[in-house]
Structure 1
Amino acid sequence: MRTLDDRLGISDEELRRKQLLAAPTLPVEEPLLADRPDHRIERLPSDRLDPDNPWGFKLQPPELLYDRGELKNLSISRGTLTEEDRYKINEHIIHTIRMLSALPFPRHMKDVPELAGGHHETLIGTGYPKGLKKEEMSDVARMMAIADIFEALTAADRPYKPMKTLSQALKIMTFMRKDQHIDPELFALFIRSGVYKRYAEQFLRPEQIDAVDEEALLAG
């Protein structure tokens, strides 16, 4: 039973959404949790991607910008993100490519948008934002994917996850190699060249630098 007006003390945007429905006469009996129309935040036409967009993006946005439905959010079966939340996270790479593509890079830097924007692609077309396959990516773009993943796994400044040790990070990357998320030949080069060690010595904390069985990683 609700006896207080739920339209008091809220933002103009929240009030606009609540005004989509007539205000009930108080007191009113209503469920404790619900998916209401005012939970649905519409996506503007300008936020949608044309299938024939000039960048070749295939990452299509969900219908809504956000869905604050209480039942929907409590029904997430894995993790904590809705479809809308996941898109908002993935959308950063679209902004990266669009921004960099608009800059007048000199000729020797013309590939910067591809290199900066391709590290979420996979070898089999299941990545984003373009759904590229191995043969559609340059060697350097595939190298960047390995570097980006390794840095993300070992970073000590991510508030949403603990940092990984060298052996933990590289083990995780072997699973990504198996799933064809990263190039197996370039990953082998990453191990054999010892570049991961040089990075660790310069940027990782001492407690992260543990023993690595390179042969086991390469044989997996």
Structure 2
Amino acid sequence: LGASEGEALPVTERLLADRPDHIVPWGERRPPVERGNPANRWGFHMVLPAQAAHLGELHNLSIRRGTLTEEDRFKINEHIVQTIIMLSSLPFPPHLARVPDIAGTHHEKLDGTGYPRGLASEQLTLADRVIALADIFEALTAADRPYKPAKTLSESLAIMATMARQKHIDAEVFRFFLRSGVWRDYAERFLSPLQRDAVDVDALERALG
């Protein structure tokens, strides 16, 4: 194993290495997410990794934070790109014409650091802000995610309050969400009893400033 053509055995094979065959090029699968790409007619503004995947051991052992490489993270984030492309190809009636945009903005942030378009707050409609909040709440409380345990109501809402202060989600939409009690109705229907802990709504509102 590891011998090149014409190379006598035995040979030394590096235990850990980044080899050319570890690189998976984009080829025809290159997604049109860069702003200067003529095929990008959806307004995406994302940084595209140099390759579709990098399977090198050294590359994967050099992750500074978390467990994902740049290529892995892009592949996860690309789901929203494919959502927009797919929905944009469907013949929605006029009153549903914004469905692709609304579905495609749930990872945008008010401070403009979201994706896939990097939209600023003034570019996000009320519907965009509501779907972003709903997506985060569902993700935090979901019990079917293999990469994390489900969080309790108090943990989830505290995280969302921090996100509102940091201008990742709309603070007024979050405040309405708290006061409406819809989170409690959702919990009664979909969360386990262990997740339905006490929530101090007044304290959360005060934390918003």
TM-score using structure 2 length: 0.92
Q: Distance in 2 between matches of 1:35 and 1:79?
A: 20
Cα 1:174–1:24 shift into 2, 3 Å: farther
Residue 25 in structure 1 maps to residue 8 in structure 2: yes
* 8 A Cα contact 1:42 1:66, kept in partner: yes
Q: Distance in 1 between matches of 2:176 and 2:7?
A: 66
Q: Distance in 1 between matches of 2:154 and 2:141?
A: 10
Cα 1:24–1:170 shift into 2, 3 Å: farther
Cα 1:123–1:100 shift into 2, 3 Å: same
Letter of the structure 1 residue corresponding to residue 60 of structure 2: N
Deviations 1:173-208 (A, max 9, x none): 112112211001101111011111111111111111
Letter of the structure 2 residue corresponding to residue 30 of structure 1: E
Q: Distance in 1 between matches of 2:22 and 2:6?
A: 15
Residue 138 in structure 1 maps to residue 121 in structure 2: no
Match of 2:101 among 104, 110, 114: 114
Q: Distance in 2 between matches of 1:29 and 1:74?
A: 21
Cα 1:28–1:206 shift into 2, 3 Å: same
- Aligned-residue CA RMSD (Å): 1.6
Deviations 1:126-167 (A, max 9, x none): 000000011101101101000000001101111111001100
TM-score using structure 1 length: 0.87
1:162 corresponds in structure 2 to 149
Cα 1:185–1:35 shift into 2, 3 Å: same
Q: CA deviation at 1:118?
A: 0.4
Q: What are the ranges of 5 or more consecutive residues in structure 2 without an aligned counterpart?
A: none
Following TM superposition, the consecutive aligned residue runs of length 4 or more in structure 1 with deviations greater than 3 angstroms are 21-25
Q: CA deviation at 1:103?
A: 0.5
Residue 81 in structure 1 maps to residue 63 in structure 2: no
Cα 1:42–1:159 shift into 2, 3 Å: same
1:39 corresponds in structure 2 to 22
Q: CA deviation at 1:60?
A: 3.0
2:206 corresponds in structure 1 to 219
1:206 corresponds in structure 2 to 193
Aligned length: 203
Q: CA deviation at 1:43?
A: 1.0
* 8 A Cα contact 1:48 1:60, kept in partner: no
Residue 97 in structure 1 maps to residue 80 in structure 2: no
Q: Distance in 1 between matches of 2:90 and 2:178?
A: 35
1:68 corresponds in structure 2 to 55
Q: CA deviation at 1:22?
A: 5.8
Cα 1:23–1:54 shift into 2, 3 Å: farther
Q: CA deviation at 1:31?
A: 2.2
Q: Distance in 2 between matches of 1:81 and 1:91?
A: 14
Percent identity reads 57
Cα 1:80–1:212 shift into 2, 3 Å: same
